[in-house]
Amino acid sequence: MSSRMRRRAVNAAMTILCALGLLIALVPLVSVLWLVISKGVRGLSLDFFTQLPTPVGEAGGGVGNAILGSLYIVGIASAIGVPLGVGAGVYLAERGGGRAGDAIRFTAEVLSGVPSIIVGIVAYGLVVLPMRRFSALAGGVALAVLMVPTLARSTEELVRLVPRHLREASLALGVPEWRTSLRVVLRTALGGILTAVLLAVARASGETAPLLFTSLNNQYWNWRSDQPTASLTVQIYNYAVSPYQDWHDKAWSAALVLLLVVGALSLVARFLARSRFGAQR
Amino acid sequence: MIRSAARPKVEVQDLNAWFRGVHALRGVTLTVPANTVLAIIGPSGCGKSTFVRCINRMHELVPGAHQSGHILVDGQDLHARGVDPVDLRRRVGMVFQRANPFPTMSILDNVVAGLKLNGIRGNHAEIAEKSLHQAALWDEVKDRLQTSALSLSGGQQQRLCIARALAIGPEVLLMDEPASALDPIATAKIEELIRELREQLTIVIVTHNMQQAARVSDATAFFYMGELVEHGPTEQIFTNPKESRTEDYVTGKFG
C-alpha cells in the first residue's frame, strides 16, 4: 500500500513539474504576443495595410508597400530556394549515401549555422555589387540562401520516412526509378514537405539583417525586381531606431502585421499538412 | 489458354546471388512451365525471397547485391544486352509480403497506378474493373472506388495489390509470402485467386505455410541455406520426397 502511495505522490509531483515547465516556456511567448498586440493594435487601420508611409509628424499613412515588398522578396526567395532545397533534399535521401552526400550534408549543416547577416553580406557581394544597386532580387537571393540548408535537411528526413515498400511497389510495376522518386516517394512526402516549405518561408519573412544591405528600403510602391524594395522587417527596424514617438508606434503596428502574416502562413501550413496534401492515414 | 509442353516460361540456370557479403543463393537450377504454380518453401533466410526478386531483377536494386548464372523468361536471358529491367517488371509482376497500396491514391488509382505512372493510355476504368474482378475484390469496393486505399482491411489491401499487379498485364506473377500477414478467411480468398489466375499466368509463390503450398501449387521447390534441395511435383514433395532434408522439413522436424 505504501509503495502505491509513493508512486502516486511521485506521479503527481512529476505532473506538476511538467506543467510548470510548460508555463515557464509559455511566459516569453505570451509576453511577446501581448506586448506587440497591446502596443500595435492602436495603429492598425485599413489605411495601415494599404497606404504608403508618411513623413514624421504627418498623421495616417501605412506600410502597404512594405507588406507587398516583403511578399515580393520572399516570393523571389521561394522561387529560387524551394526548388533548390527540396531538390537537394530528395537527392540526399535517394542518392546521398556516398561521399558526395556526406559533403552536401556537412555543407548544409555549416550553412544553416551561418548568421543571417553574413548571408546578407554574401548576397551583397554576389548581387548588389555587380548590379551596382540594391534590389529585391538581392534580398531574395539572400533569403533563398538561408532557406536552402534547412529545407534540404527537412526534405531529406521527410523523404526518408516514406516506407521502402512503397518504392518497391512502384518499381515492381515497371515504373522507372526517377518517376518513382517523383510520383510516388515525393508525392507521399508532399504534405510534410509543404509544411517544411511554408515554415521556411515564414522564417525567411522574419529576417531583417540580410535585407538591410540587399533590398534596402523604399518609400514608394515598387514592382521592379532590380530596384530597392521595402520590407516589413526593415521598415520596423527603421521605425524603431528613429527618435520619433510617432514612428515607434508605427513600428509596433508593423510588428503586429508581420506577426499576423507569419502566423497566417503557419496556420496554412498546418491546414495543408492535415488535409488534402497529406497521406491519408 | 494452351498449355504448351514446349519451352518453360521461366528457366533458371545455375543462379548464384549475393547481398551484403552473404551468399544467398547457391547454384539454383529449375524451370517453371507456363500456366503452372511453383511454390517455394524453406526456413527463414534460405534465399526464397532473393530467388523471386532475381526473376524481376528487383534483387539488383539492393546496394551491394550481385548475381551470376542465367534466368530466362520465354527463352530470353534477363541480363542479355538490351533487356530493360523496367520493361521486364511490366511482364513479371510482383506481390509483396506486406500489402503496400499507395497511401495517397484512391482504390481506383491504386489499381491503375502501373498504367498511370508509366503513362500507358487505355480505358483505365475498364482495366480497373477487370483487374478487381480477377482479384475477387470488385464486389467489395465497387461503391467506393474513390476512397483511400487505406480504408480497406489488410486482406482487401493485399487483393488490391494483386489487382494492381494484374492491371499491367503481366505474364508471370511473383508472390512473396502474400498471405503471411492475413487471417485464414483472407488467406483462403487469396489461395482461391491463385488457382484461378493460373489459367492466365505463371505464378511463383514463396510461402512459409506448407499446407498452402500443398493447396495451391503444381510444383514445389524446397530451399535450404541458399541451395535448392529438391524440386518436383507438389504431391511428390509432400508425400514421397527423395531427400531426407525435405522430408524432415515438410513433416515439421525442423524449420
CA-based nearest residue to A35, from A259, A195, A277: A259
- Strand order through the sheet with B22-32: B22-32, B10-19, B66-73, B76-77
Asked if the Cβ–Cβ distance from B117 to A175 is below 8 Å, we say yes
- The 8-class DSSP code of residue A113 comes to T
Distance (Å, whole) CA A60 – CA A43:
9
B1 pLDDT more than 60: no
B243 pLDDT more than 50: yes
Q: Taking residues A107-118, what's their average pLDDT?
A: 92
Residues of B in contact with A168 (CB under 8 A): 58, 61, 96, 100
Q: Which of B49, B102, B148 to mutate to test the interface with A (most CBs of A within 10 A)?
A: B102
Distance (Å, whole) CA B255 – CA B248:
9
A275 pLDDT more than 90: no
Distance (Å, whole) CA A202 – CA A261:
8
Nearest CB to B96; choose among A169, A174, A183: A169
A277 pLDDT more than 70: no
Distance (Å, whole) CA B191 – CA B215:
8
Q: Taking residues A12-36, what's their average pLDDT?
A: 95
Extract the C-alpha cell encoding A32. 511577446
Q: Taking residues B18-35, what's their average pLDDT?
A: 92
∠B30-B75-B213 over CA atoms, to 5°? 35
Is B155 an 8 Å CB contact of chain A?
no
A278 pLDDT more than 70: no
Asked if the Cβ–Cβ distance from A173 to B148 is below 8 Å, we say no
Residues of A in contact with B117 (CB under 8 A): 170, 173, 175, 179-180, 183-184
**Residue of A43 and A142 predicted with greater confidence:** A142
Distance (Å, whole) CA A97 – CA A99:
7
The pLDDT value given to residue B36: 95
The pLDDT value given to residue B99: 92
Q: Per-domain residue ranges for chain B?
A: 10-99+172-250
Asked if the Cβ–Cβ distance from A165 to B98 is below 8 Å, we say yes
Confidence of residue A2 (pLDDT cuts 50, 70, 90): confident
Is B150 an 8 Å CB contact of chain A?
yes
Q: Which amino acid does the sequence have at B210?
A: M
Q: Which tens digits make up the pLDDT trace of B118-135?
A: 988 889 999 999 999 988
Asked if the Cβ–Cβ distance from B104 to A187 is below 8 Å, we say yes
Is B58 an 8 Å CB contact of chain A?
yes
Pairing mode, if any, of strands B10-19 and B66-73?
antiparallel
Residues of A in contact with B165 (CB under 8 A): 172-173
Residues of A in contact with B101 (CB under 8 A): 169
> Kind and range of the H or E element at A247?
helix A245-274
Classify B10-99+172-250 by CATH class.
alpha beta
Q: Which tens digits make up the pLDDT trace of A145-166?
A: 999 999 999 999 999 999 989 9
Terminal CA-CA length for chain B: 38
For residue B203, give how far its alpha carbon lies from the nearest alpha carbon of chain A (Å): 15
**Among all residues of chain B, which has the CA nearest to that of A182?**
B117
Is B73 an 8 Å CB contact of chain A?
no
Mean pLDDT (chain A) is 90
Residues of B in contact with A180 (CB under 8 A): 117
Under 8 Å CB pairs connecting chains A and B tally to 73
Is B90 an 8 Å CB contact of chain A?
yes
Confidence of residue A220 (pLDDT cuts 50, 70, 90): confident
- Strand order through the sheet with B172-176: B92-95, B172-176, B202-206, B37-41, B219-224, B227-233
The pLDDT value given to residue A270: 79
Q: Which tens digits make up the pLDDT trace of B96-121?
A: 999 999 999 999 999 999 999 998 88
- Backbone angles phi and psi of A276, in degrees to 5: -65, -25
Confidence of residue B5 (pLDDT cuts 50, 70, 90): low
**Residue of A278 and B25 predicted with greater confidence:** B25
The pLDDT value given to residue A192: 87
The pLDDT value given to residue A280: 43
The pLDDT value given to residue A124: 94
For residue B184, give how far its alpha carbon lies from the nearest alpha carbon of chain A (Å): 24
The pLDDT value given to residue A7: 94
The pLDDT value given to residue B255: 58
Residues of B in contact with A188 (CB under 8 A): 102-104
Residues of A in contact with B98 (CB under 8 A): 165
For residue B157, give how far its alpha carbon lies from the nearest alpha carbon of chain A (Å): 13
Confidence of residue A281 (pLDDT cuts 50, 70, 90): very low
Q: Which residues contact B210 (CB under 8 A, 6 or more apart)?
A: B41, B238, B250
Distance (Å, whole) CA B213 – CA B43:
14
Q: Which of B96, B117, B147 to mutate to test the interface with A (most CBs of A within 10 A)?
A: B117
Q: Which tens digits make up the pLDDT trace of B170-209?
A: 999 999 999 888 888 888 988 999 999 999 999 999 998 8
Q: Taking residues A260-267, what's their average pLDDT?
A: 88
Is-contact B149 B135, C-beta < 8 A?
no
Nearest CB to B89; choose among A171, A179, A281: A171
**Among all residues of chain B, which has the CA nearest to that of A164?**
B100
Cα torsion B66, B67, B72, B78 to 10°: value is 20
A255: left (phi over 0), alpha (psi -120 to 50) or beta: alpha
What percent of chain B lies above the pLDDT cut of 90?
A: 74
The pLDDT value given to residue B229: 94
CA-based nearest residue to A176, from B17, B2, B89, B124: B89
B2 pLDDT more than 50: no
A25 pLDDT more than 60: yes
Q: Taking residues A61-81, what's their average pLDDT?
A: 93
Nearest CB to A173; choose among B103, B114, B150: B114
Q: Model-level pTM greater than 0.90?
A: no
Q: Taking residues A10-15, what's their average pLDDT?
A: 96
Is-contact B166 B134, C-beta < 8 A?
yes
Is A171 an 8 Å CB contact of chain B?
yes
Confidence of residue A276 (pLDDT cuts 50, 70, 90): low
Q: Taking residues B40-47, what's their average pLDDT?
A: 90
The pLDDT value given to residue A271: 81
The pLDDT value given to residue A279: 45
Q: Which amino acid does the sequence have at B21?
A: G
Q: Taking residues A27-52, what's their average pLDDT?
A: 92
CA-based nearest residue to B58, from B17, B30, B26, B21: B17
Q: How many CB atoms lie within 10 A of CB B213?
A: 25
For residue A69, give how far its alpha carbon lies from the nearest alpha carbon of chain B (Å): 37
